[in-house]
Amino acid sequence: MSEISVSQWHLSEELQLLTEFGYSDLDMPYQSVGVRSNKDIREPETHSDVRVLEVIATCLTTGKPGDVVAAAFDKRGNIRLVLAKNGDVGSTDYTATRTFISDLMIANDWIDLLPFLVNHSKTNIDKRISGLHRSITDIRSTLEKAATEYTFESMEKEFPRSDDYRDIMYVGKDIPTVARVLSDLIQECINASDFAVDEDQQSFMKYVRLVNVAGILRDSRFLSELISDPNRANWERIQDTVKLKRRLGKVCQYTRIRQLIEKVQRLPDVPFEWVEESFADTGEGEFKFCMDPMEAVGRVLHRQLTPKEIHEVAERFPSLSSNWMGRRFYPRIHAELRIILHFSPPLLSESLRQLPLRGSEQLPIGCSKRSCLCCVLWIDAFNGRTGMSWMTSGSHGKPYANWALPGTAGEQIGAALRGVDGQVVKGINTRLKDMLAWLNVKGGPKRISDERASSGSESDTSEHTGEMRRARLRAILVGDYAAIPRPKEQA
């Protein structure tokens, strides 16, 4: 086994142990990774680019396991879209991207992209719909109970920009109370999320309707108040509400295609490329875990575990052994790192002798999924050594055994970059040692939800105004896809 293969094998085992222990870096005391979103430090242009790039990446992922897409703009000369994915790039990726861009060029609104999205990204859309359905069904009685103890403000404060929705929903009925509107919204969200998308207009309508209801509930004061509840006794309710809000945001994320349409239609065309470089001496390949996870734990601690320790760990994580035994894994360089490895040599070529650079501009990357723990550690180390400012929108802080060390792919950019991989290895090793120390104290870790993995949680308030919005709503509520006015037809 080559040196990098040994490092990769040990790293992947450590990452898998952390996964088995339910680890996430969020809310942990380590520097830099414990943030879900870096919105606060983004410059305005970075912020707008990240959001647009995230939508592009989300639209281009199929949603199948491991199919993560990353996107960046190459702004040297005419703007160019650069795309990468965790797996191999194939001809279908090029076809999908061409179709996507040509649909964007003639679209009037995000809903015009639905035929493409349902065709290309059905798995992802269905995952988002069913995730929302599960989440809101699970939390429903909690929300209803919370509503009985909640002091409602005016309709406008509770449900901003919802007057058209209410006018149409309650036409010919008595004016509803605020509490009633909330209860109806929850029910409506449950009903509207109980389906899977198909390539027909009826199905598109169902999705548009879901987005409509989900957007109002996501922006409601009620959910915000529950989330900002200072009472730690309500911790579980807060977490569940955060999760619900994130899932509401995820089904609504496609409405941001509007900003993308505006952006691309100002350009004569949108040239794109998929990063297809293959790098030598990386941690990519096929590996196999050892037979006994305790052996891997022993390697981390540089000692054999006592029978008592083995018993304690096995008791706390009963499926650890069966999940582990001799399992194969296939680490790949993650999409966001492929973008960085592709761009950095030319960007750095003139400055290699004077690393690190000072005060360089932010370089945003949009991903179909938030960055994992190792990607954030690697990007941090890379930025630290080069002075560059690569950033994705945030991290879910979770470890993945299938994360591959870039190895010499990173190092060949410059001698100063040796050791970037090592910083990741060290960071993971420290976390695992701390986790093991913590496990030996008392109490088990709380299982950390996968749902931190999403992008698309930020609120998008740029809905249309006035008559246009009402006309859209009417068409949505009667289920007529073709009749939905698109913004550009307004003039």
State the minimum distance, in angstroms, from the CB of residue 351 to Zn ion.
Answer: 26
Q: Is there binding between residue 370 and Zn ion (CB under 5 A)?
A: no
State the minimum distance, in angstroms, from the CB of residue 3 to Zn ion.
Answer: 22
Please name the helix (run of DSSP H) or strand (run of DSSP E) that holds residue 491, with its range, or none: none
* Contact mark string toward Zn ion, 282..321, x via CB under 5 A: ----------------------------------------
Strands 389-391 and 362-364: parallel
Q: Is there binding between residue 333 and Zn ion (CB under 5 A)?
A: no
Please identify which residue in 15, 186, 372, 428 interacts with Zn ion, judged by CB under 5 A. 372
Q: Is there binding between residue 375 and Zn ion (CB under 5 A)?
A: yes
> Residue 200: left if φ>0, alpha if ψ -120 to 50, beta else—which one?
beta
Q: Phi and psi of 305, rounded to 5°?
A: -80, 150
Residue 218 or 334 having the CB closest to Zn ion: 334
Per-residue DSSP letters for 165-226? HHHHHTTTSPPPPHHHHHHHHHHHHHHHTS----SSHHHHHHHHHHHHHHHHHHT-HHHHHH
Which segment (30-38, 116-124, 364-372, 470-478) binds Zn ion by CB under 5 A? 364-372
State the minimum distance, in angstroms, from the CB of residue 19 to Zn ion.
Answer: 13
State the minimum distance, in angstroms, from the CB of residue 251 to Zn ion.
Answer: 24
Q: Is there binding between residue 379 and Zn ion (CB under 5 A)?
A: no
Q: Is there binding between residue 4 and Zn ion (CB under 5 A)?
A: no
Task: Read off the tokens for 270.
Answer: 């949108």
Distance CA 80, CA 59 (A): 17
Please name the helix (run of DSSP H) or strand (run of DSSP E) that holds residue 262, with its range, or none: helix 257-264
Q: Is there binding between residue 338 and Zn ion (CB under 5 A)?
A: no
Total residues interacting with Zn ion, rule: CB under 5 A: 3
State the minimum distance, in angstroms, from the CB of residue 134 to Zn ion.
Answer: 25
Q: Is there binding between residue 70 and Zn ion (CB under 5 A)?
A: no
* Contact mark string toward Zn ion, 11..30, x via CB under 5 A: --------------------
- Burial (0-12, 13-18, 19+ Cβ within 10 Å), 78: exposed
Annotate 15-49 with b (16+ C-beta within 10 A) or e (fewer): bbbbbbbebbbbeeeeeebebbbbeeebeeebbeb
Is residue 128 a contact partner of residue 118, using CB atoms and an 8 Å limit? no
Residue 18 or 313 having the CB closest to Zn ion: 18
Residue 178 or 375 having the CB closest to Zn ion: 375
State the minimum distance, in angstroms, from the CB of residue 62 to Zn ion.
Answer: 18
State the minimum distance, in angstroms, from the CB of residue 372 to Zn ion.
Answer: 3
State the minimum distance, in angstroms, from the CB of residue 400 to Zn ion.
Answer: 6
Per-residue DSSP letters for 419-478? THHHHHHHHHHHHHHHHHHHHTTSSPPPPPPGGGG-S--S-------HHHHHHHHHHHHH
Residue 332 or 385 having the CB closest to Zn ion: 332
Q: Is there binding between residue 365 and Zn ion (CB under 5 A)?
A: no
Q: Is there binding between residue 369 and Zn ion (CB under 5 A)?
A: no
Name the site residues for Zn ion (rule: CB under 5 A): 334, 372, 375
